[in-house]
Structure 1
């Protein structure tokens, strides 16, 4: 059994632009405003390190560290916080899967959060998964559309 939360959107920009927005300007869209994300390390390759600091409007700070499990350019990015660099086990929350597929000159973007347990999935849903990830995707789309000149 899998414990997935997922959103799927048709973004009005070609895959190349969505990929570039995701990989080159990640901090600008990764979490819904007024939160911000700073990518301290983003080694987009299998086994590569990810270090992110998310900051809230009231001084909140959430540090995330993990690794990329799979990176297929313009197709898929899979990451997890179950490990840190060097494959050191960490307290896992989820595996994140971002898929990019061409669809009539646009991009079918699907973002999935795969959890270890029903409880973790339910907690993520209660934290606002759907509105939060949709708001972040709106921000991603705005960047991709600008890159594509749309």
Structure 2
């Protein structure tokens, strides 16, 4: 299997979850599990739009480039590292992530499906901390979005 997935019930309405994705200053506060810092985020939430981040891990900066393939406000995001802005191909693509959001009263059912090109890539991603890291980041997202209410 080359897919990894998570489902969360986040304690904020989806318009606030979307806002935390759409505004770079908010995304920087939750996108990576602490103590990792997102120090730069460039986001253009539209198909072909840029999704570039720089994170700091143990004092070392790491750049990640990608683009959005789909962006339906407050419903669905699809992004990848296979392409940069304007669908420019990138070297060594690793994944496509599909995020869906659905209302549940004043909360959000939030699902993530991450597709990899091979089972080995999915296993490497899981061993690198996918479940733990993404779970922590999504907890941070929920807390931040709830604080905006």
Structures share a fold, TM > 0.5? yes
Instruction: Please state whether the residue corresponding to 1:71 is helix, strand or coil.
Output: strand
Report the Cα distance in structure 1 between the residues aligned to 2:76 and 2:60, rounded to whole angstroms.
30
String of CA shifts for 1:103-130, please: whole Å, max 9, x gaps: 1221001122111100100000000100
* Residues 1:34 and 2:35 aligned together: yes
Report the Cα distance in structure 1 between the residues aligned to 2:130 and 2:41, rounded to whole angstroms.
23
Report the Cα distance in structure 2 between the residues aligned to 1:29 and 1:139, rounded to whole angstroms.
5
Name the structure 2 match of 1:93: 94
Name the structure 2 match of 1:14: 13
Change in Cα spacing, 1:38 to 1:98, as seen in structure 2 (3 Å) is farther
Report the Cα distance in structure 1 between the residues aligned to 2:43 and 2:101, rounded to whole angstroms.
19
Instruction: Please state whether the residue corresponding to 1:61 is helix, strand or coil.
Output: strand
Q: Post-superposition shift, 1:47?
A: 0.6
Mapping of residues 52-67 of structure 1, within 5 Å: 52-56=53-57, 58-67=58-67
Q: 37-46 vs 25-34, which deviates more?
A: 37-46
The alignment's TM-score, normalised by the length of structure 2, stands at 0.92
Name the structure 1 match of 2:82: 82
Name the structure 2 match of 1:103: 104
Report the Cα distance in structure 2 between the residues aligned to 1:85 and 1:17, rounded to whole angstroms.
25
Name the structure 1 match of 2:145: 144
Q: Is the 8 A contact 2:28 2:41 kept in 1?
A: no
* Residues 1:70 and 2:70 aligned together: yes
Q: Give the ranges of 4+ consecutive aligned residues of structure 1 lying more than 6 Å apart after TM superposition.
A: none
Q: 79-88 vs 41-50, which deviates more?
A: 79-88
Q: Is the 8 A contact 2:70 2:78 kept in 1?
A: yes
State the Cα RMSD in Å: 1.3
Q: Is the 8 A contact 1:7 1:110 kept in 2?
A: yes
Report the Cα distance in structure 2 between the residues aligned to 1:61 and 1:5, rounded to whole angstroms.
26
Change in Cα spacing, 1:44 to 1:38, as seen in structure 2 (3 Å) is farther
Instruction: Please state whether the residue corresponding to 2:102 is helix, strand or coil.
Output: strand
Structure 1 gap ranges (5+): none
